[in-house]
Structure formats: structure tokens, C-alpha cells
Chains A and B, each alone.
Chain A
Amino acid sequence: MSEKPMPLWEVFVRARNGTAHRHCGSVHAPDAEMALQAARDLFTRRGEGVSLWVVPSSAIVASDPAEKDMLFEPTASKIYRHPTFYEIPEEVGHM
């Protein structure tokens, strides 16, 4: 009997309504429905979520670690991109 390796799925959990789904790990499962159940069983045992996404890991397109200098290093010197040079009027409160 031949067994195919079980596909890997990336799991995203939304903690509360209004927040974004965040990546929290991965599961092995034969198909999408079972991946959702495995994600529920592994990542929401302590009330962590109100919604789940699972995505086939093979669908993820990743940046090349070898290119990280080209892609990410140049931003280090551009501190003006952080919105810390503005004064927030008090009426606005917490942003």
C-alpha cells in the first residue's frame, strides 16, 4: 500500500472580531475540511479565536532569504518613514 505524505496547511487565527487573522502555525491534514478541524483542535484550545483560516502551505510564495539585504536593509536608514515626527493633538487621543 502506498501512502502519500499528508499536505501541510498554514493556520491563521482571528482572536476577536475586528482584528486581523494572524499566522500561528501549521498542521498536516488530508484536505481543507480536516485541516480546519486540526487547526481548531491545536490552536484554539484556550479560547484563542473566533475565526480560522487554513491555506495550503504550497500556495505561499516566500521571499528569498538571500535577497534580504536588497529587499529590507535599505529601509533601515529611512527613519522619517516612521510617523514619529508628528505631534498628535490631544483631542485625537490614543491612535
Chain B
Amino acid sequence: MSETGNGSELPLFTYTLRLADNALVLGHRLSEWCGKAPILEEEMALANMGLDLIGQARALYTYAGEVEGEGRDEDALAYRRDAFAFRNLLLVEQPNGDFAFTMARQFLYAAFAHPFYRELVASRDATLAAIAAKAEKELAYHLRHAGEWLVRLGDGTEESHRRAQDALDELWMYTGEMFEVDQVERALIERGIAVDPARIGPEWDETVSHVLAEATLQRPRDGWMQTGGRNGRHSEYLGYILAEMQFLQRAYPDARW
């Protein structure tokens, strides 16, 4: 198995890894709020969502390791790969910024991931379907929580409105990648294993438009979209995330406590 994603991987492995990496990287981003959230209530909310995502990542990594059949477990996949082997969306690795930025990022991801996992429940792959059934409920809450915050920030004070709009404007170019389909996925979609993101598009559009309208925020115009994360081409930020996240396993391989 090559770590560079040179096309020799099993499609199901790559697919599962992409989902796992999205969950882990976004979960790690939320964990960075620990001790720094604006209010105690939100401290807990952010940690809860982060833990939901890391739980999803664990199940997905374990399954990816089984599919690969090379003896890699969840820890090996999370802690022993370099940035170019990560397949997450560029959206989820974007730095937390201010609270509005974190909530906007969470909202844009959950507005996609919730209907995505709801569809994946019908996958012909029984393990993915079971993981999806759990993730779907968790992401429904993430979507509601982030959506409600976006409405209050957008329709709040002049400052909160400006910060929320800035966040959307900056993040919008990372939303296109969620809807990409490559050959790896096309084959799995045809076999009824993967979800065709084209099926998610209309619902995502409607959710985003509805919430932004209520939040009195402008929906950014679709322009040039960033791409690459799903194939291992990342922004500079991922390396810093991994440096912190993987330090212990790199310094003390197989450490246990």
C-alpha cells in the first residue's frame, strides 16, 4: 500500500478514509476551542460536537484498516500518516478564526454531512450504513446548533453580522469540493455503496439559503472553488494540525495509558 495515493488503493479504502479524515480534522479543530470558548455553555457544545466527530472518525478508521487488510488500526491511520496521505476536505482544516468563523464552517459542513450520512444509511455496505446511522443523528444536531448560532450572529449586532458575513465570504470557495466525484467514487456510487453528492446538492442549497436568509446574511456568489484536499493536496494548515495531533505517537510510538 502506498501512502501517496497513487491510485493503487482500493476504492472503498480511499472512500472510507476521506470520510474519516473529514471527521478527525474537523473534530480536532473543535477541540482547539477547549478552554477558550466565549461562554461555558458553548465550551461544552463545541467539545460535544468535537467528540461526536472523533467518534465517527474512530469507527471509520477502524473499518478502513479492515478494508485495507494491511494491519493498520485506527491509531496507525490517524497518527502515522503525513499530510499528503490525508484525504479530508480543505474546508475542515481551515483555522478556527473567531467564533463566527467556526460556526460558519460547522454549518457549511453539517448542511452537507447531515443529508449525506442520512443517504449513506442506505448503503449496500453494511458497516458504512451502521456508522452512518449513528453519525446522521449527531450531525443533525450539529446542523441545528451551528444554524441557530449563524442566525443569531447574522441577525445580531453590527459587529456579529460583519464577522459572520466575512466568515461566509472566506469559506465559500471551499464548499465546491464537497460535491466533487472522481473515478474512485463513481464506481462505488454505481454499486450502491457510496452516496452521489449530486443528490445532496438541492437540499444543501435550500438549507444554506434558508438559514442565511433568516440570518440576514448574503449568500456568496459561486465562483472559483478550491480543490485538492481529497487527493492529498492540502493548505499549509494541515501540517500544523498534524504536528500537534501526532506528536505523542511520533515521539513515543505505541504509547499507551
Contacts and interface: CB of A to CB of B under 8 A. Distances in A.
Contact of A6 (B39, B44, B149): B39
A1 to B, nearest CB: 6
Given A28-B39, A33-B148, A45 B157 contact: no
Contact of A42 (B41, B145, B158): B41
Nearest to B158: A1
Contacts of A30: 152
A36 to B, nearest CB: 10
Nearest to B44: A41
B67 interface: no
B45 interface: yes
Contacts of A31: 152
A27 interface: yes
Nearest to B47: A41
Contacts of A33: 148
Contact of A34 (B152, B157, B158): B152
Interface size class of B (residues with CB under 8 A): 10 to 19
A14 to B, nearest CB: 19
B48 A41 contact: yes
A5 B92 CA distance: 32
B144 A42 contact: no
Given A30-B152, A45-B48, A37 B159 contact: no
A43 to B, nearest CB: 10
Interface in A2-50: 6, 27-31, 33-34, 37-38, 40-42, 45
A29 B152 contact: no
B72 to A, nearest CB: 31
Given A30-B152, A34-B148, A37-B145, A1 B159 contact: yes
Contacts of B41: 27-29, 38, 41-42
Given A28-B39, A30-B152, A37 B157 contact: no
B45 A38 contact: yes
Contacts of B149: 34
Interface in A42-71: 42, 45
Nearest to B160: A1
Interface string B31-60: 000000001111011001000000000000
Nearest to A33: B148
A29 B39 CA distance: 9
B219 to A, nearest CB: 23
Given A38-B42, A41-B48, A45-B44, 13 more contacts: A1-B157, A1-B159, A27-B41, A28-B39, A28-B40, A29-B41, A30-B152, A33-B148, A34-B148, A37-B144, A37-B145, A40-B141, A41-B44
13 contacts: A1-B157, A1-B158, A1-B159, A27-B41, A28-B40, A34-B148, A34-B149, A37-B144, A37-B145, A38-B44, A41-B45, A45-B44, A45-B48
Interface of A: 1, 6, 27-31, 33-34, 37-38, 40-42, 45
